[in-house]
Amino acid sequence: MSGVSGFPDVSIVLITFNDAARLPRALASLSSQTLRNLEIIVVDDASSDGTAGVVQSAMSSDPRIRYVRLDVNSGGCSGPRNRGIREASGTWVMFCDSDDEYERHAAKNLLLAVEGSDADLGCGVVERVEVKSGATKRWRADLHEPGVLESIDERPDLIADTVSVNKIYRREWLNGRGIEFPEGVLYEDQLFTLKAFVEARRICVIPETVYRWYVDRLGSDLSITQRRHEVRNVRGRIEVNRLIDEYLAARGLTELARTKTRKFLSHDLYLYLSTLLELDDADAMAVAAELAPYVAALDLAEAQCQRPALRVATYHLLVGDLDGVRRAMRFIRWSSVVDAPLVIADGSGVLWGCAHLAAGPSFQGLGPEWWLDVSALGLDRATISQRRWCHRLTSLAAAGGTWSVEGNTVDAFGDLGRATSVEFVLMLATRVMASMPLTMSGSDRGSHGDLSAETCEWRWRGNGGWSAVPDAGLRPGDRGFLAIRIVIDGVANVMPVRIHDWAAPSCVLSGPSAAIDLQTYPGEHGVLRWRAGRYSRTARMLGRLSRWQSGLAAPISRVCRAVARRVGERLPTAPLVVFIGGGGQPGEFSGQAHAVSAALLRRRPDVGQAWEAVRADAGETSASVRRSWRLARARWWVLDTALPVTMRRPAHARSLATAEAVPVVRTGSEDPDWDITPPARRRGGSSLPRRWDSAGAMNPEAARRQLDLPSSRVNVLYAPLGDECLIDLPAFVERLGDRVHLLIASGSGGAVDIPSVLRSSVRDVSASAAREIAYAASEVLVTDFSPVMTDFASAGRPVVVFSPDFDRFVTRTRGTVVDLIEAGPGPVTRSMAELDAELTALLGRGLRVAEPYLGRSRRFAERVTPIASADAFVDEMLGGA
Amino acid sequence: MRILIMANNVQELGGAQRVVHLLAQGLGSRGHDVVIIGVVPHEARHSYESGPTYRTVTLLDDPYPKDASERLAHEGVATVRLQRLLDDGPPGIVITAQLWAMEHLARCRLDGWPVIGQYHSSFEAARAGRDLTRAKAVYRDVDAFALLCDEDASSFRAEGFNNVVTMPNPLAYWPVEASDSNDPVVTYLGRFSAEKGPRFLLEAWRLLAPDHPQWRLDMVGSGPLEQELRGGLGAGLPRVTFRPSTTDPMGVLMGTGILALPSLTEGFPLALAEAMACGVACVASDCSSGVRALVDDGRTGLIARRGDAAHLAEQLARLMESPDLRKRLGLAARESVEGLQSATVIDRWEALFVDVLR
């Protein structure tokens, strides 16, 4: 009853060239397919490494493998694949590359699908795997709505699925129709799959993942030298597109040709034009020269499907203005950073300002005002704080303690000229922009040029390096970026300083002590980033000394620290308060902690203050005797983060918590089973510290004004515990964007990437200063397990728990302190649809919290006693001493 | 062909066990060499008639102990015995009816044995508990993962199971003719436990009884809530009869006018499928993908909102007041479950074997 009839059902053609390292993975994925009746044909394109040996050893354990070696290297994929088709004996053929692998059930799923529907061609989903991070993404899964198509005309968009490896082909049909890979052409997949789609009598699309495509992003993004092939690549792509056009024209398939043109203009062209940002001028000109004639010959009315900025770039390509293309592409690549003046035309929206606007040429009857219309982006709706200025660095120098920074900003919206007061501040921002008030000394006296000009020049000079808030200092390895804060009539905007040229300036800014300097380097999106370390010669020497010391003295130091702790804990406490903050980022403290610090300084200047940053994973970041002593003797601990399991609070220290410090997830300290403290040292009970109630601390109206939020929509805060935004933003905005303005505050303060078209409805408030204001300003909270939940519950505001991963997290990963399903402050949703339904219902009820959540919210918040202000916090603290 | 069917135990009087025995019976009578393997014995020791067509084996002599280290020893013994059964002849096919059984099988060497995994609850139930995570660990790589209905299959597929197939449970019997009973009886057939929702039915009956004096309510079953239902809620209601659970559900169904399934949770409810096979009009609560797969609201039965007694009463009243509607739904229901006849389902299993072995 087994289906083996002498011939294999499927022949898999695995092509390889000098890839002995990754070949075993690919082979193993084919050998372990749940489809047994298959043959594996390894076509070796004349490798000179150990490929033959790898295949031989695989053949000894799997007799279904055959080895075909080409005598001469073919230089491409087409030759080996065509040879594989000729060698194949199966009813069906599939293809695989040696650096990728098949999903375990791929061959069987595709085979059963095409047999069941009597199709010539079947295709499944490709999963992209980032080699470095292991992150996976289903590639263009939107195209793979399952179904059986009588012909490609039923779903022309499917031609965008241009890879050959996620498909199964009827072998006789391939041969009968003469469909083969074009030799001597790069991107042979594109022509091959298109022909297959066109010729297929029936096409079967399955929803399962069939292929894992390993992508080494570093390899493709890295350096200019690796981009040298770009001209050749673009030429290759255009060549294959010409072949496809000829083929479609010869077959009279006009509708499909139109779809293909749209795909080229919106997808392919984006890729090619992006590369112009990284190529030097000569190469870029060469690429543009290849592209322009091809694009000009297309039906340009189809450019309507392009996103506005890409259409602007296309126009500049046609005009032959390389700089203009780059500006528009930078706008897309750098998330809507506007590097050109915008013209707000009466009644007809927003136009991209450039030299061609007034008298540029028309193409196929389409004039500049059609090409340059960017109204759809809604840039004019952005408020001052949402503006995406491009601060362009033109010169950066530092030597012998003096430094200078120069650059300019295109005043795209004319805001600077209109304003009555404008202030420029140069900042060394950390990932959490405003929380680390580092400034360049002397920088607050920067100068800027004519504000009414289209481009505003600015310049800062100083001597002395950077300075920082004491004790919240940088450590070697910390990173950040250079930013400019513009305050226009009281409303602030912080945007990074960017470099437009790939060869970026790199220099060392010295710090206040010899300990740490900043090394600048170019980062993603053209942002000028810095890394803290020991770079100057004296600092390097001191660093080496201290490393040597710590290496040698580690055991001694450990003993000293233990002694310091033991002794310190036995002595009477010192009038000292330790602020313990972190959440992963050293030096990150909430505004509440700073406010308490200020109030304390005002009331009790005699009380010493120390700042202790912990990393949630490591517990202790620095191990000094001084630190152990300080922690042991402090009379008060102010927790600005959940205390890591590895840190132990001495019994006599009184602790209070800010809003950030009352966890919803288990940290281990609340559960005797998880507690690693020896039983003898445990303190009775694990009552929660009192905490500052932040949502109630600020007037919501004032908060909304301060954040410059729309008043016509409901402000919903999304505060995930981690860094990842799990809400499908485009879908969310599509459904609720007209009624809801979404604020996103990621748990660790990391910025969340928001697609530019959504910016008028979604706002990132992860930076901690903005975050706390956002807590007050938002009317509804959506979160998985953020401690903010407690604030919203205590303020009686609606909470919706949203976590697609809820069950695994609760049962497997960490678990929560309170059973959120039974006693949480709001409904638990696990999918976008459920979240959508809950929010819609909530909006329908006028944001009223429904039973049973009203009572539950109260009980949830009552776990901890709230404190209302910084002064009350200090009272509480001192009073209990 | 050798076919091993594994379940947590093979003696319990439960849904999965009934199906396992039916399947073994069906496959055995077609000449396959079928062995049912239970991991542990069950105190109930319900004796299924195993007959000459298949054998049953239980791996362990006593249930798993509480103590973790002893559990390890049990696990070892179970693995060794199971491996011996696998190695005892040429490879065929293993079917694991339940997750825990699969977790045992996963410890064995499976040279050449294709595995078909089954999950008898709904996706919702799997996600609510830990089953989804457990299933991900053992069921993603097996040759086929069989779910009871399409809705569950696609939910599991969305969770990264690329091997899902739909395989409904077979019916134990197929009445030669549809029931032509016009008896004014509403029947409840199932355990008296909270999740089966008998309270809602009695609640609905309270609303219905005054307006439908000729109708009776027959509560057939037993269970933890029995005393409470008989004494409390049920006592004050007119024309309610409590009867003990029966070994002849078909006999009960053939004499009933309407079957009510007021459950709060269900998998793929056999009682409902059986009633439909008898041509009895049904009202079922919208409590699982299995119910939705069986009942096409308004065509093959009526759906009532889950846990909503008033809506249940409303739907029952529609049927009670219209013999034509009962007849029409009943016949459509019988037709719609024809595919669940044992022979048809066994055909589907054999077709699945062919696919799996390719």
| Residue at B287 is within a domain | yes
Q: How confident is the model at residue A2 (pLDDT cuts 50, 70, 90)?
A: very low
Q: Do domains A10-219 and A700-863 have the same CATH topology?
A: no
Q: Provide mean pLDDT across the span A279-290.
A: 87
Q: Are residues B6 and B64 in the same domain?
A: yes
Query: Is B157 within 8 Å of A811 when comparing Cβ atoms?
Result: no
Q: Are residues B136 and B32 in the same domain?
A: yes
Q: Which domain holds residue B202?
A: 185-338
pLDDT digits (tens, 9 = 90+) for A715-738: 999 988 777 788 888 888 888 888
Q: Which fold has domain A700-863?
A: Rossmann fold (3.40.50)
| Residue at B281 is within a domain | yes
- d(C-alpha B157, C-alpha A848), whole Å: 37
Q: Are residues B146 and B42 in the same domain?
A: yes
The DSSP secondary structure of B81-131, one letter per residue, reads: HHHHHHHSSS--EEEE-SHHHHHHHTTS--TT--EEEE--S-HHHHHHSSH
- Minimal CA separation from A9 to chain B, in Å: 8
- For B232, which DSSP code? I
pLDDT of residue A681: 39
Domain CATH for B55:
3.40.50.2000
pLDDT of residue A587: 45
pLDDT of residue A466: 58
pLDDT of residue A451: 67
Q: How confident is the model at residue A347 (pLDDT cuts 50, 70, 90)?
A: low
Q: Which of A4-18, A96-110, A207-221, A447-461 has the highest average model confidence (pLDDT)? A: A96-110
User: Which residues have CB under 8 Å from A136's CB, separation 6+?
Assistant: A127, A128, A129, A130, A212
Kind plus residue range of the DSSP H or E element containing B132:
helix B131-139
Helix, strand and coil percent figures for chain B, each rounded to 5: 45, 15, 40
pLDDT beyond 50 at A671: no
| Residue at B179 is within a domain | no
Which of A247, A127, A241, A245 has its CA nearest to residue A177?
A247
Q: Are residues B154 and B256 in the same domain?
A: no
CB-side neighbour CA atoms (13 Å) of A455:
10
The DSSP secondary structure of A69-131, one letter per residue, reads: E-SS--SSSHHHHHHHHHH--SSEEEEEETTSEE-TTHHHHHHHHHHHHT-SEEEEEEEEEET
Q: How confident is the model at residue A668 (pLDDT cuts 50, 70, 90)?
A: very low
Q: Are residues B324 and B346 in the same domain?
A: no
| Residue at B180 is within a domain | no
pLDDT beyond 70 at A612: yes
- Minimal CA separation from A5 to chain B, in Å: 10
- Minimal CA separation from A333 to chain B, in Å: 32
| Residue at B297 is within a domain | yes
Q: Are residues B200 and B135 in the same domain?
A: no
Query: Is B357 within 8 Å of A807 when comparing Cβ atoms?
Result: no
Query: Is A108 within 8 Å of B358 when comparing Cβ atoms?
Result: yes
Give Cα separations from B257 to A108, A393, A752, B92, B309 (angstroms): 47, 84, 61, 46, 20
Check if A811 contacts B (Cβ < 8 Å): yes
pLDDT beyond 90 at A174: yes
Q: Which of A34, A111, A830 is the closest to B143 by Cβ?
A: A34
pLDDT of residue A696: 46
User: Which residues have CB under 8 Å from B46's CB, separation 6+?
Assistant: B11, B12, B13, B17
Tokens read off for A362: 């028309």
pLDDT of residue B51: 67
Q: Provide mean pLDDT across the span A187-204.
A: 92
pLDDT beyond 70 at A401: no
Give yes or no for a contact between B281 and B325, defined as CB atoms under 8 angstroms apart.
yes
pLDDT beyond 50 at A468: no
Q: Which of A8-12, A592-596, B236-240 has the highest average model confidence (pLDDT)? A: A8-12
Give yes or no for a contact between A800 and A779, defined as CB atoms under 8 angstroms apart.
no
| Chain A residues with beta carbon closer than 8 angstroms to that of B133 | 807-808, 811-812
pLDDT beyond 70 at A670: no
| Residue at B195 is within a domain | yes
pLDDT of residue A198: 93
| Chain A residues with beta carbon closer than 8 angstroms to that of B355 | 108, 112
Give Cα separations from B349 to A617, B168, B274 (angstroms): 51, 10, 20
pLDDT beyond 50 at A596: yes
Query: Is A37 within 8 Å of B1 when comparing Cβ atoms?
Result: no
Least confident of A300-314, A555-569, A830-844: A555-569
The three-point CA angle A672-A673-A676 to 5° equals: 80
| Chain B residues with beta carbon closer than 8 angstroms to that of A812 | 130, 133
Q: How confident is the model at residue A634 (pLDDT cuts 50, 70, 90)?
A: confident
| Chain B residues with beta carbon closer than 8 angstroms to that of A37 | 358
Name the 3-class secondary structure at B178. coil
User: Which residues have CB under 8 Å from A249's CB, separation 6+?
Assistant: A257
Q: Are residues B97 and B32 in the same domain?
A: yes
pLDDT of residue A535: 60
Which of B164, B181, B160, B175 has its CA nearest to residue B256?
B181
Q: Are residues B192 and B81 in the same domain?
A: no
Which of A800, A854, A805, A851 has its CA nearest to residue A830?
A805
User: Which residues have CB under 8 Å from A433's CB, separation 6+?
Assistant: A427, A483, A494, A767, A769
Complex ipTM value: 0.86
Query: Is B130 within 8 Å of A111 when comparing Cβ atoms?
Result: no
Which of A744, A468, A745, A504 has its CA nearest to residue A587?
A468
pLDDT digits (tens, 9 = 90+) for A521-555: 777 778 888 777 766 566 556 556 655 655 565 66
pLDDT of residue A777: 84
- Minimal CA separation from A57 to chain B, in Å: 20
Q: Are residues B157 and B299 in the same domain?
A: no
Torsions phi, psi of B227, nearest 5? Answer: -60, -45
Q: Which fold has domain A10-219?
A: Spore Coat Polysaccharide Biosynthesis Protein SpsA; Chain A (3.90.550)
Q: Provide mean pLDDT across the span A486-507.
A: 74
Q: Identify which has the larger pLDDT, A399 or A445.
A: A399
pLDDT of residue A630: 80
pLDDT beyond 50 at A689: no
- Please tell me the pTM assigned to this model: 0.66
Query: Is B133 within 8 Å of A807 when comparing Cβ atoms?
Result: yes
pLDDT beyond 70 at A676: no
| Residue at B175 is within a domain | no
Place of tokens 């959506």: A782
pLDDT digits (tens, 9 = 90+) for A219-257: 444 433 345 567 788 888 889 999 999 999 999 999 899
Query: Is B133 within 8 Å of A3 when comparing Cβ atoms?
Result: no
Q: How many CB atoms lie within 10 A of CB A435?
A: 25
List, in sequence order, every residue forming a beta bridge with A212; answer none if it has no partner.
A101, A127
Count of positions (residues) in chain A: 881
Domain-by-domain residue ranges, chain A? 10-219, 223-381, 385-531, 540-690, 700-863
| Residue at B176 is within a domain | no
Least confident of A155-164, A264-273, A808-817: A808-817
pLDDT beyond 90 at A582: no
Tokens read off for A661: 């410090």
- d(C-alpha B279, C-alpha B268), whole Å: 18
The DSSP secondary structure of A224-250, one letter per residue, reads: TGGGTTHHHHHHHHHHHHHHHHHHHHH
Name the 3-class secondary structure at A710. coil
| Chain A residues with beta carbon closer than 8 angstroms to that of B141 | 104
Give yes or no for a contact between A536 and A510, defined as CB atoms under 8 angstroms apart.
yes
Q: Are residues B142 and B30 in the same domain?
A: yes
A119, amino acid identity? A
Query: Is A1 within 8 Å of B1 when comparing Cβ atoms?
Result: yes
Tokens read off for A250: 């010869």
Check if A242 contacts B (Cβ < 8 Å): no
Which of A166, A26, A144, A36 has its CA nearest to residue A94?
A166
- For B64, which DSSP code? P
A185, amino acid identity? V
- d(C-alpha B306, C-alpha B286), whole Å: 5
Q: Are residues B70 and B192 in the same domain?
A: no
pLDDT of residue A463: 63
pLDDT of residue A675: 34
Check if A34 contacts B (Cβ < 8 Å): yes
CA-based radius of gyration for chain A: 31
Give Cα separations from A54 to A77, A88, A255, A491, B253 (angstroms): 20, 21, 47, 65, 66
Tally the domains of chain B: 2
Stretches where chain B sits below pLDDT 50 are none
Query: Is A2 within 8 Å of B357 when comparing Cβ atoms?
Result: yes
Query: Is B160 within 8 Å of A209 when comparing Cβ atoms?
Result: yes
Query: Is A112 within 8 Å of B157 when comparing Cβ atoms?
Result: no
Q: Which of B130, B157, B353 is the closest to A1 by Cβ?
A: B353
Q: Which of A105, A111, A807 is the closest to B162 by Cβ?
A: A105
- d(C-alpha B266, C-alpha B286), whole Å: 9
- d(C-alpha A85, C-alpha A99), whole Å: 20
pLDDT of residue A541: 64
Supply the mean pLDDT for chain A: 78
Query: What residues in chain B have their Cβ under 8 A from chain A's Cβ atoms?
Result: 1, 114, 127-130, 132-133, 140-141, 143, 157, 160, 162-163, 350, 353-358
- Minimal CA separation from B163 to chain A, in Å: 6
- d(C-alpha A582, C-alpha A569), whole Å: 24
The three-point CA angle B50-B56-B60 to 5° equals: 145
User: Which residues have CB under 8 Å from A626's CB, separation 6+?
Assistant: none
Least confident of A375-389, A503-517, A695-709, B114-128: A503-517
Q: Are residues B10 and B61 in the same domain?
A: yes
Size of interface A-B (CB pairs under 8 A): 55
pLDDT of residue A539: 55
Name the 3-class secondary structure at A578. strand
Query: Is A209 within 8 Å of B133 when comparing Cβ atoms?
Result: no
